[in-house]
Amino acid sequence: MRKTRIASIAAMAAAAALALTGCGGGGGDAGGDGGGDSVKIGIKFDQPGLGFKDGDKYTGFDVDVAKYIANELGFKEDKIEWVSAPSANRETLLETKQVDMIVATYSITDSRKERVAFAGPYFIAGQDLLVRQDDTSITGPDTLKGKKLCSVTGSTSAKKVSDSYPGVSLVEQGGYADCLGLLETGGIDAVTTDDIILAGLAATPANKGKFKVVGNTFTEEKYGVGLTKGNDTCEKINTAISKMIKDGEWEKSLKANTEGTGYTPNADLNPPTPEPCA
């Protein structure tokens, strides 16, 4: 009896050790030296048409671009682990290797390049304004004096307003959907970020008819694939982006994900050509 018990404890310990070893072998390292069996990709969870989580389903143009790239890197869809990447957390998520890459309406900027690397761009958007449907007073950034504006912490959109439009009072939220709630109740007068994000949010069944995109863009936002510095995947990702554009999948996805939103991409800038990797 006693002997049996000791034997089974030993067997359990051996099984636990095996399980641990198995666990250590997993995890994604697509941004590192290869050999990982999964890839962790940061996307937005709250931007309809771009990166959106609905139960266990992930949809949007960013999601399609991410899936295409992952597949080209050898990761099938079931090997992708989707991670929420709010605007303010993106650099840290990459630096701390909580994600291998970020495809989340992430503009390529010089200041971000001090902390992370970018492949792409795979799309070019422009900063715009969203106002209540009946508002005729706001027609562009020069009509914002004395108005309350909402944007998201850590975004280029918030930075642009505080740098270039000092007379505007800026309210910062964690995500753009939070700003729309404030716009509806009158707590703020406008929401600002990229036109494609605003169009997607305004077109959801819950928001339909309540808001309008002003349609007067005042920046160029080059969406890149965020990577860790010193990565060895940038070239491969640029090749994947070019392939996606060439084989028609890029256009197909963009169309499907903006359908019914009234959004038309800037045809002078899109599709873009990926920039050389640093």
Residues binding ligand GLU (CB under 6 A): 87, 104-107, 152, 155-157, 193-194, 197, 221
How many CB atoms are located within 10 Å of the residue 15 CB?
Answer: 10
For residue 109, the minimal CB distance to ligand GLU (Å) is 8
Question: Is the separation of the CB atoms in 5 and 12 below 8 Å?
Answer: no
Rounded CA separation 259/142 (Å): 30
Residue 157 beta carbon to ligand GLU: minimum distance, rounded to whole angstroms: 5
* Closer residue to ligand GLU, CB minimum distance, 177 or 203: 177
CB of 238 to ligand GLU, least distance (A): 19
Q: Which is nearer to ligand GLU, 192 or 207 (CB)?
A: 192
Total residues found in the chain within this entry: 278
Q: Which of 225, 222, 210, 217 is nearest to 263 (CA)?
A: 217
Pick between residue 155 and residue 261 the one whose CB is nearest to ligand GLU: 155
Q: Which is nearer to ligand GLU, 38 or 217 (CB)?
A: 217
User: For ligand GLU, which is the closer residue by CB, 193 or 253?
Assistant: 193
What span, in angstroms and rounded, lies between the C-alpha atoms of 177 and 218?
Answer: 21
Side by side, the strands of the sheet bearing 221-227 are 80-84, 39-43, 101-102, 221-227, 117-125
- With CB atoms as reference, the residue minimizing the distance to ligand GLU is 155
Q: Residue 75 or residue 123: which is nearer to ligand GLU going by CB?
A: 123
Residue nearer to ligand GLU on the CB measure, 155 or 257: 155
Q: Distances from the Cα of 127 to the Cαs of 91, 188, 198, in angstroms?
A: 21, 18, 9
Token reading at 14: 């051996």
Least distance (Å) between residue 204 CB and ligand GLU: 17
At closest approach, how far in Å is the CB of 194 from ligand GLU? 5
H helix runs in the chain, sequence order:
2-25, 61-72, 90-95, 110-113, 156-164, 176-185, 195-202, 234-246, 249-258
CB of 113 to ligand GLU, least distance (A): 13
Residue 145 and residue 155 in contact, taking contact as beta carbons nearer than 8 Å: no
Q: Both tokens of residue 158? A: 């918030």
Tell me how far, at minimum, the Cβ of 111 lies from ligand GLU, in Å. 11
